[in-house]
Structure 1
């Protein structure tokens, strides 16, 4: 962990290597506060948040209660918000969320738990909100407020336009907030339009405030909160006025902060002997000035905050040549390594050739969306390619697709006059369930199986198109953490890691590709990557010999691309290869036209993918490197 307090930061920031370490640290600090209050014989009054950011904090608090005797009997809690209207036993209810993640597993007194009531009659909401404020004041105010942050900069449900003095109230949700919540409600049309939330003024009265933010998807709004002027268009910026606030980030969420993005402009002391930092600085400078790297001059360095680099390393042209060559060496048309070639300056080894390659795909379409061109090229160049589909992806299938397939089975059964009628019976059960299904209701086991089979069939079709034998080279793991039938998943478990280790040992790959993008709004990519990393680390600790000759490459998917200075292998795609990649993506018909969970970007996945590939190629071109139709990018994980 590192802490920063640069001139650009208006709020104290602590940056951890990852959200796991950050969450555990915050949970232990909170536990120490609770214990301290217990010794004093005083209440610990906590303001709590929901969403994905605090879940690991809550899991660690539960562990501390069970294994280290942390008691919550002196704790009083007030939750930030709740959708309106919302039944407390609904799948999306924050009452249910808090029970599942925390309250059902600790010894907190039920009368000490306070959560806004989503069932209050509309004409009584104002009175309820006043009473909520009175309850907070009655216990002396909130000691320790935990927050997350939304992409609009909201804290609680205080959307843009919320004033610094706002109190607990009913609010209309911003379109972006509703879009971000769509996956939890199985479609934006099911997301409530209103919510009850503590106000900004209520939050600012807490004696201590801790805000959590994880992943690249939060990086832009974190920068505005930490470095921007206070404004009601980004309500989180009002935290700058608080005397005891800290922002807790992982490296990904901190990526846009000036000390990370452009330390040479933030007054940081830069180590210009760090080749990665020099590469970061030059790609930034070239893009800022819209000049090829080899055309950057001494004046360009001096006038844009890089005089220190120039003084340390000599003339601009020598630095330009070095960085240009580093970028050029990332480009390869041989992602599996070029046989019988000098690989001194190539990103991947020449030998062994061909290689056994294992591509991990969190969902059944991430392989072709994220690295379909590279997959095709690996197959074309003779490597033994396997694809591991880590989850079934069954929740991302529309109900009408499931009933269409059930109907097909029933019609097929009837056309060929089977002796019994199991398919027809199945169809009727599925049709009846879906007809009466409520928004957000978990699918029946049969419907989940049908949706899983739809996605499995599409993955097999894409494999066949790419030249793979799906019976031998497609591996469907169906990792247990995912199979809840809900957007909210279970934590990563030993069984998930065991299954991953088993597959790795069976294939013994010389190359592994894994999804390294953590911006996936549903969190599945994050958990799938953790399963791979923990499996590899356990195998390494056990002295597994084949790992000595295995390299791991991380790709990113439909959500985001690697920053240009971080790319270690760039695989160029011709127009024909980009078209082939698109056709492979099209095999996933259930995700075509309109995916069930599109996230904030409403474009189809193939459109996002092609734009990302073309943008990466365009940046390489602008830096003075060869011009390609598209580029897929990878970063190596040196485990």
Structure 2
């Protein structure tokens, strides 16, 4: 279902934007458009020329095209394809190559003639590249030009690998990759050193020469650059903004991808606003932050000058409106995340009874619990609740090879020091050292290596729980199967993953569930883990388990972002001493200390990111006129009875 069609105002959004329910719906629509071009050309006995992209955004589009081929007899015999780009240097046999990507996700599953597939050659010698690029352009022209070009967008603003500074008249060429692009690729290559720093890419002029262009953008992490592309001026600093110059471009986004847009942040600036309670709260917070004034000091004139006259009229004036919103934010603050026993206030986020709750904290990786909600976890344990922590994945790929060698050798040395026969362990250790010493970039660890790395992280997690006051028998290592590929790319979640969560939930029957709602985890593990939990809860609810009727589900966010203030429903203040305890709990994860394997663009350690985020949340509450705290951890309650409202 299309929620929003067309752009709001030409002066605000300068490209046609369709906001869709989800990625799957977007993929279905885009694949349908591409299929329409193919069929139209088939009917005329002509070849359809497709410009194709790689990356996370097009994968679901290719999956839908494959489905159309198998289930609806869509033929690709009249299709010629030209890919946007390829890393340089890059062997087509490498699992990191775009050749491998395209055949894995599309070409191996359809009836296209391999002779009609064109992908830049990453094996060329440097002095052959210019001639190849000229020939690539000639081939596109000889085929009559590209009928429809599929695009994604990088966080640097690149389309293809046209990084900031690219010019509008650029054609296929060799380019240097932007540091942001390289940082984003680390998750695929394992280290910055393994990421190629150059690529062959179609140019801006080549892309704009396509007769029709479709761009897909999914997720909140892309929203800031999409806003610049769509609302900002045409500039080489945002190469994707050159799309504003094309006559037939359509942009397909999910809700999260519009989170930074004016239409989402301040819709009252672009048209008539539906003043839902959440939108009222957002507007008042926006005005307070815009004017740098506490909420209770906002005046009628402030609202009128900001274009919020209609909101003011609905509440009879700033005084009543300010008090209402201030009270809503104040009521999110609680020092009792498990509920305050005997409390009579109806406005507290959590129920007072039962006084001792079974609290189940799901942690996608073996450190998300203490990084994201360590202060709250410690508070729950200190206040006597029956706290359980469930680590959903082993986290083994985020351990350095050298740590695996060190721990494996330690086990051998320990047994030898006790004069215990360890021949088999010694042999296994020798094989581990030989494998890791000669390991190639991107090579999957052996089962034994994965076990050693998993045990390292499990030991650290157990230490963090002990420090935080969690009983040893309440620590659960689930090792969900979807994760165990040995690579950043995981298998799809299966019924086996869901059943593990179902069994744990029924065993504990918690009064509270805490889960990672950080869907911007760059590796996607958080989202998969959350959806597995949701599927398990829906199954249990459908089965009629009575205990679930008295269970709240609270979502925290990870090292990458925090909830917007208007969304926060429980804010747990963290004192300076508690913040230090949280830091020490994070320090128990020594394999992630100093320099984690997958740091992302932010080079700070996880404890530094967590503290900065918690302090920033407290600062925002202070600036809005609430009590000043050292730090705050924030949560949103997931309403299974009103999921559509939550998603909006």
Asked if Structure 1 and Structure 2 have the same fold, meaning a TM-score greater than 0.5 normalized by the shorter chain, the answer is yes
Deviation of 1:206 after TM superposition, in Å, equals: 1.4
Contact 2:412–2:422 under 8 Å retained in 1: no
Is 1:319 aligned to 2:296, yes or no? no
Deviation of 1:25 after TM superposition, in Å, equals: 3.1
The residue aligned with 2:646 is none
Deviation of 1:420 after TM superposition, in Å, equals: 4.5
Distance 1:138 1:540 in 2: 59
Distance 2:74 2:386 in 1: 52
The residue aligned with 1:286 is 288
Q: Decide which moves more: 588-597 or 481-490.
A: 481-490
The residue aligned with 1:400 is 402
1:55 to 46, 54, 59: 59
- Partner secondary structure for residue 371 of structure 1: helix
Distance 1:504 1:248 in 2: 37
The residue aligned with 2:612 is 611
Distance 2:40 2:336 in 1: 60
Contact 1:413–1:423 under 8 Å retained in 2: no
CA change 1:51–1:583 in 2 (3 A) is same
The residue aligned with 2:164 is 160
Distance 1:246 1:388 in 2: 43
The residue aligned with 1:512 is 513
- Partner secondary structure for residue 193 of structure 2: helix
Q: Deviations over 1:50-72 (max 9, x none)?
A: 11122222223233333343332
CA change 1:501–1:379 in 2 (3 A) is same
Is 1:271 aligned to 2:274, yes or no? yes
Q: Deviations over 1:565-593 (max 9, x none)?
A: 11111111111111111111111000000
Distance 2:20 2:608 in 1: 34
Is 1:201 aligned to 2:205, yes or no? yes
Specify every segment of 5 or more residues in structure 1 that has no aligned partner in the other structure, as ranges.
none
Is 1:123 aligned to 2:127, yes or no? yes
Is 1:186 aligned to 2:190, yes or no? yes
Measured on the aligned residues, the alpha-carbon RMSD in Å equals 1.5
Distance 1:377 1:179 in 2: 36
Distance 1:21 1:479 in 2: 28
The residue aligned with 2:418 is 416
Equivalent pairs counted in the alignment come to 636
Is 1:456 aligned to 2:458, yes or no? yes
Specify every segment of 5 or more residues in structure 2 that has no aligned partner in the other structure, as ranges.
641-648
Deviation of 1:131 after TM superposition, in Å, equals: 1.4
Q: Decide which moves more: 346-355 or 558-567.
A: 346-355
The residue aligned with 1:361 is 363
Deviation of 1:80 after TM superposition, in Å, equals: 1.0
Contact 2:518–2:526 under 8 Å retained in 1: yes
Contact 1:343–1:349 under 8 Å retained in 2: no
Distance 2:494 2:204 in 1: 38
Contact 1:91–1:441 under 8 Å retained in 2: no
Deviation of 1:343 after TM superposition, in Å, equals: 4.2
Contact 1:410–1:423 under 8 Å retained in 2: yes
Is 1:74 aligned to 2:78, yes or no? yes
The residue aligned with 2:339 is 337
What is the TM-score of this pair, normalised by structure 1? Answer: 0.97
User: Pairwise mapping of residues 4-403 of structure 1 onto structure 2 (< 5 A)?
Assistant: 4-7=6-9, 8-266=12-270, 268-272=271-275, 274-403=276-405
Q: Decide which moves more: 554-563 or 418-427.
A: 418-427
Deviation of 1:285 after TM superposition, in Å, equals: 0.6
Contact 2:182–2:195 under 8 Å retained in 1: yes
Q: Deviations over 1:127-156 (max 9, x none)?
A: 111111122222222222111111110011
Is 1:444 aligned to 2:446, yes or no? yes
Q: Decide which moves more: 348-357 or 591-600.
A: 348-357
Distance 1:397 1:24 in 2: 38
Q: Deviations over 1:158-196 (max 9, x none)?
A: 000111111111001111111111121111122111100
Q: Decide which moves more: 353-362 or 36-45.
A: 36-45
- Partner secondary structure for residue 406 of structure 1: helix
Distance 1:20 1:492 in 2: 16
Is 1:537 aligned to 2:538, yes or no? yes
- Partner secondary structure for residue 55 of structure 2: coil
Distance 1:32 1:469 in 2: 59
CA change 1:11–1:564 in 2 (3 A) is same
Q: Deviations over 1:229-272 (max 9, x none)?
A: 00000000001111111111111110111111111112x21123
- Partner secondary structure for residue 57 of structure 2: coil
CA change 1:431–1:231 in 2 (3 A) is same
Contact 2:576–2:630 under 8 Å retained in 1: yes
Distance 2:44 2:553 in 1: 52
Q: Deviations over 1:272-297 (max 9, x none)?
A: 3x111110001111111111100000
CA change 1:392–1:322 in 2 (3 A) is same
Distance 1:423 1:343 in 2: 60
Distance 1:60 1:546 in 2: 40
Distance 2:469 2:208 in 1: 59
The residue aligned with 1:572 is 573
Deviation of 1:465 after TM superposition, in Å, equals: 1.0
- Partner secondary structure for residue 160 of structure 2: coil
Q: Decide which moves more: 126-135 or 410-419.
A: 410-419
Distance 1:508 1:68 in 2: 45
The residue aligned with 2:639 is 638
Deviation of 1:213 after TM superposition, in Å, equals: 1.5
- Partner secondary structure for residue 604 of structure 2: coil
Q: Deviations over 1:531-554 (max 9, x none)?
A: 222222233333333222221111
CA change 1:352–1:74 in 2 (3 A) is farther
- Partner secondary structure for residue 512 of structure 1: strand
Distance 1:450 1:269 in 2: 59
- Partner secondary structure for residue 215 of structure 2: strand
The residue aligned with 2:560 is 559
Deviation of 1:508 after TM superposition, in Å, equals: 2.0
Contact 1:399–1:434 under 8 Å retained in 2: yes
The residue aligned with 1:588 is 589
- Partner secondary structure for residue 253 of structure 1: helix
Deviation of 1:381 after TM superposition, in Å, equals: 1.6
What is the TM-score of this pair, normalised by structure 2? Answer: 0.95
